[in-house]
Structure 1
Amino acid sequence: MSTTCSAVPKLATNPTRTRSTPTADPPGVAARPGWARPTAPASSCRTLRAGTDTGPRPGRCSRRATPRLAAPCTARVVLRPQHREAPVPTDVVVVGSGPNGLAAAVTCARAGLEVVVLEAQETVGGGARTLDLGLADGVVHDLCSAVHPMAWASPFLQEFDLAARGVELLTPEVSYAQPLDDGEAGIAYRDLERTVAALGPDGPAWRALLGPLAARPDVVVGVGLGDRRSIPGGLLPTGVPTALRYALGLVEQGTPLWTRRFRGHVAPALLTGVMSHAIHPLPAVPAAGAGLLLAALAHAGAGWPLPRGGSQAIVAALRADLEAHGGTVRPGHRVASPADLPPARCVLLDTNPRTAVRVLGDRLPARRRRALERFRYGHGAAKVDFVLSGPVPWAHPEVGRAGTVHVGGSQEQVAEAEAHVGAGRHAPRPTILLSDPTVVDPGREVGGLRPLWTYAHVPAGSDVDVTEAVTAQVERFAPGFRDVVVTSRCIPAARLVDHDENYVGGDISAGALDLVQMVARPSASVDPYRLAEGVYLCSASAPPGPGVHGMAGWFAARRALRQVFDVRRPPALAPGVPA
């Protein structure tokens, strides 16, 4: 969710809330809008004895008695402008209802604060929404995210406890797969040893690289999903060896050394497919960081699960908890000017830096503004949603059991495709991510029709309809795919921003994942979340970056609680536990 306003509301310093109490009009005096009638002091107007004069002198009540008929004195009513009290400020306003925005809102609401979430779209959830696109009756598609390894691995979502809130994570036996031209395929089973056996001679090398990381996912997640400013969770006292292995893996797989570990072509292709999630030329250290984290999670815990019913289940759980603690969500509320934001003591922006600059206007310090204006956005993704009459007819049958398929071929072919995109060109054979949710969630099939979720890597800002390119690339590894396609819809990279305003040019990572921005995200500063007094960035443009994990929102909200509201102890998140 994004905004286009020039300033944030004036932050209140006094938490005491006051509201004016209307007073009745004096008898016989008509009300006038914007004016109030003062009550005359008791001493200025008395009931006089019989025979005294009640006629007042101009401008004041008469106090001198004259032999007149007895009557009560009446004061002249003087109309004065009514004092207009400032609107009562909300404690916290969150702009954007993606997972990070909702994580921030939940954290603040559980601390006892009044929270309002403003969302430009008519539906809540940002990139984690599940919608009926009108392609087939009852068939719903995930708008952006579909597969959620962070749903069980994220420290925020672990504490929030999705399972206790009725969110069912369905884990496929095959976490991900990489089909190849010769009919072979790399298969990453959730069971590490089964994967090792399937990779043949390269199996032991796969185990040596990923086994220690999968054994301590808390350490890898602590490093990968940290705030880049503090000691990662799980590191001390026993996680240092695992962290060192992770760091060595980044150096190996993020540099030209990436070809030296494996002897065959299947294992390197399988790992390269995971690293392609970064949408970045390969090899690269940031891509290796994301790839090794995801590859380790594929062999640990719940693997790469899909929420039953779609990504919206995660959003619904977050929203329900927010509202249970007094929070409010306002869909269809685009923040286009300062008047669109209610007064607030604290503002949390689940937006990209470009939008944040517009929102803050002159409140943003000049140095901070310049830093945010230098923020770089990444390459694009074009979304193609299909409706199929049956499963994808993969040449290798085990690929059909995977919750996620990386479609691109060998390591060299994927690297070539990513190099094209990095140079601003469309790859003849683009890298594609694909998921058929019915592999683990048969309820997503309606009347014999099922959704197929795909996106292709393309240059930033591309307005090209890639439906044919995606169809041809899938057909390459699944002959007969065209025969099961009932209908489809493409959202070019340039139009993704219409569905989530953080996706500038189709950048679904909300910022380039290069080496500098892996650390200095959104800029090089001691506190990457605090933008101005009482204003915080809580989106994927802040650490730790993209993914449905809620960590950026959690980190930003905890800082806001401490710095604005002097709440030193973060609230508990688990259901049934007092905040």
Structure 2
Amino acid sequence: MAVDAVVAGSGPNGLAAAITLARAGLRVRVYEAADTPGGGLRSTHADGWTHDVCSTVQALALVSPFFRTLDLDALGVRMRHPRIAFAHPLDGGRAAVAHRSVARTAAGLGADGPAWERLLGPLADAGPALWPEVLGNLRRVPRHPLTLARFGLPGLLGVRALARTALRTDEARALFAGAGAHALRRLDAPLSSAFGLALVASAHAVGWPVVEGGSGMLAGALVRELERLGGEVETGHRVSTLAELPARRLTLLDVTPAQLLRMAEFPAGYARSLAAHRYGPGVCKVDYELSGPVPWTNPDCRDAGTLHLGGTLDEIARSEADAEAGRHPDAPYVLAVQAGVADPTRAPAGKHTLWTYCHVPHGSDRDMSPAIDRQVERFAPGFRDLVERRIVRTASDYHQYNENYVGGAINGGMAGPWSAVLGPVPRWSRYATPLDGVYLCSASTAPGGGVHGMAGYLAASEALAGLGATPAPPG
């Protein structure tokens, strides 16, 4: 069919952009280089085992203004919640635990309980007032300035500075640091606290669920919604240059600046900005197939969906600083998800999966599974005896798997104050390129990485405004 708009890339942002355009009445076609759509929302299935290839916990999908326009239940998506959102084990059998309830979490943090409630309670209670501000257009006048200030002012700090200023105990500092380290930045980097605040607030507001049957089910739902609107997805079709695309009014690209540079000729200044985009550390991912549940020393950890492994605030800070400086940490910060505590369909009866990754230097080809093994074993003695199989993807493997993961960097770029406001190029529009009707809509643009679809929604909204059309409001 003839098309009005083409979207290159079927990650959550590309599909969100396509759905937004299709809702405005445009005929949309999505091209995807891989054989299956989804980008970071893919899962593998074999012999009763389900592994999420990249994204696995979907808290941001539940708070995203774009995703809130979708009836996920009607689209076949079942979110499954663990009893405990996330936990942070420490040596000696101790652990800090994040429950859905702020009060219950605070009750477990002893002397830091009141401070935790002061810092996170207002954000968890803000509900729909918070997320359109945090994930929306930061250049407009905020509709809820007080809520944004409660988030934005502490969020300007680095994780280490905020943790040391607001909290006193090892447990509370580690609990916040584990969430903040999702930023893939050293913990003294400005704005890294914003990641911790957003993720902890989402845990208290909506929980940290997994998708029953794997994250690929969420990608499938987005494709079904697009097809319902008359759009189409063509897999196995790599877009190398814009010149090869069919005639269209709009082009939205769910690609990184490095790929965009290869797709067309741009003015020299814009091209230099694209080439200067920084991607940050990569990840080495290990999926474990286990003969039984992970034997965490602390019993609360056995019910947590997500665990942050790495010890104290200072230990995690050292690990993250090493990765950003180009060194492989000896004792890395490890993000671990035991999806089976909420979704037993992930493994054969009686068996379990453990999804893990650690941060490594950009472009690393080192297998970090021995170091990840040690960190899990540190807090769950006997873990190694349960391992039936390890599936390892180094940072360089990740880049080969998905071109958007440049050097293994899964967030689309190094988080910082400028990228949050300006995107990859310092110009007024965070999405429009100098080419007429061509927009960038990937995680390399604001609001950055994560399964929220808002880069796609905002880029498509801007593109529609250029045509004089009005997008459906999110949320």
TM range (shorter): over 0.9
Confirm whether residue 525 of structure 1 aligns to residue 438 of structure 2: no
Confirm whether residue 328 of structure 1 aligns to residue 229 of structure 2: no
Q: What one-letter code is carried by the residue in structure 1 that aligns with 2:422?
A: A
Q: What one-letter code is carried by the residue in structure 1 that aligns with 2:189?
A: A
Q: Which of 446, 461, 474 does residue 363 from structure 2 map onto?
A: 461
Measure how far apart 1:109 and its partner are. 1.5
8 Å CA contact 1:224, 1:289 repeated in 2: no
Which residues in structure 2 correspond to 1:435-446 (within 5 Å)? 435-446=337-348
Structure 2 partner of 1:118 = 31
Structure 2 partner of 1:103 = 16
- Per the alignment, in what secondary structure is the counterpart of residue 530 of structure 1? coil
Q: Which of 451, 462, 471 does residue 570 from structure 1 map onto?
A: 471
- Per the alignment, in what secondary structure is the counterpart of residue 299 of structure 1? helix
Separation in 2 of the partners of 1:97 and 1:214?
31
Separation in 2 of the partners of 1:178 and 1:255?
16
Once the two structures are superposed, residues 280-303 of structure 1 have per-residue CA deviations (whole angstroms, 9 ceiling, x without a partner) of 111233210011011111111x21
Confirm whether residue 225 of structure 1 aligns to residue 135 of structure 2: yes
Greater helix share, structure number:
2
Once the two structures are superposed, residues 142-189 of structure 1 have per-residue CA deviations (whole angstroms, 9 ceiling, x without a partner) of 010000111110000011232332311112221111110121011001
Structure 2 partner of 1:271 = 176
Separation in 1 of the partners of 2:314 and 2:123?
25
Structure 1 partner of 2:59 = 149
Separation in 2 of the partners of 1:254 and 1:525?
28
Measure how far apart 1:114 and its partner are. 1.4
CA radius of gyration, larger in: 1
Structure 2 partner of 1:44 = none
Confirm whether residue 412 of structure 1 aligns to residue 314 of structure 2: yes
- Per the alignment, in what secondary structure is the counterpart of residue 524 of structure 1? coil
Q: Which of 190, 207, 231 does residue 285 from structure 1 map onto?
A: 190
- Per the alignment, in what secondary structure is the counterpart of residue 242 of structure 1? helix
Identity of aligned residues (%): 46
Distance 1:201 1:537, change over 3 A: same
- Following TM superposition, the consecutive aligned residue runs of length 4 or more in structure 1 with deviations greater than 6 angstroms are none
- Per the alignment, in what secondary structure is the counterpart of residue 455 of structure 1? strand
- Per the alignment, in what secondary structure is the counterpart of residue 93 of structure 1? strand
Structure 2 partner of 1:547 = 450
- Per the alignment, in what secondary structure is the counterpart of residue 187 of structure 1? strand
Q: What one-letter code is carried by the residue in structure 2 that aligns with 1:281?
A: R
Structure 2 partner of 1:389 = 291
Separation in 2 of the partners of 1:255 and 1:457?
17
- TM-score with structure 1 setting the length: 0.79
Confirm whether residue 248 of structure 1 aligns to residue 150 of structure 2: no
8 Å CA contact 2:422, 2:428 repeated in 1: no
Measure how far apart 1:442 and its partner are. 1.2
Q: Which runs of 5+ in 1 are unaligned?
A: 1-87, 575-579
Measure how far apart 1:414 and its partner are. 0.4
Q: What one-letter code is carried by the residue in structure 2 that aligns with 1:358?
A: R
Distance 1:230 1:422, change over 3 A: same
Separation in 1 of the partners of 2:444 and 2:281?
14
- Per the alignment, in what secondary structure is the counterpart of residue 421 of structure 1? helix
Which residues in structure 2 correspond to 1:120-269 (within 5 Å)? 120-132=33-45, 134=46, 137-232=47-142, 236=143, 239-251=144-156, 254=159, 256=161, 258-269=163-174
Separation in 2 of the partners of 1:114 and 1:252?
44
Separation in 1 of the partners of 2:157 and 2:420?
17
- Per the alignment, in what secondary structure is the counterpart of residue 163 of structure 1? coil
Distance 1:204 1:441, change over 3 A: same
Structure 1 partner of 2:4 = 91
Bigger shift: residues 164-173 or 472-481: 164-173
Distance 1:141 1:400, change over 3 A: same
Q: Which of 417, 424, 437 does residue 534 from structure 1 map onto?
A: 437
- Per the alignment, in what secondary structure is the counterpart of residue 166 of structure 2? coil
8 Å CA contact 2:3, 2:27 repeated in 1: yes
Q: What one-letter code is carried by the residue in structure 2 that aligns with 1:552?
A: A
Once the two structures are superposed, residues 317-353 of structure 1 have per-residue CA deviations (whole angstroms, 9 ceiling, x without a partner) of 1100111122111111112345642232211100001
Structure 2 partner of 1:425 = 327
8 Å CA contact 2:2, 2:27 repeated in 1: no
Separation in 2 of the partners of 1:562 and 1:261?
43
8 Å CA contact 1:109, 1:325 repeated in 2: yes
Separation in 1 of the partners of 2:118 and 2:342?
30
8 Å CA contact 1:384, 1:489 repeated in 2: yes
Separation in 2 of the partners of 1:223 and 1:490?
37
Confirm whether residue 509 of structure 1 aligns to residue 414 of structure 2: no
8 Å CA contact 1:286, 1:518 repeated in 2: no
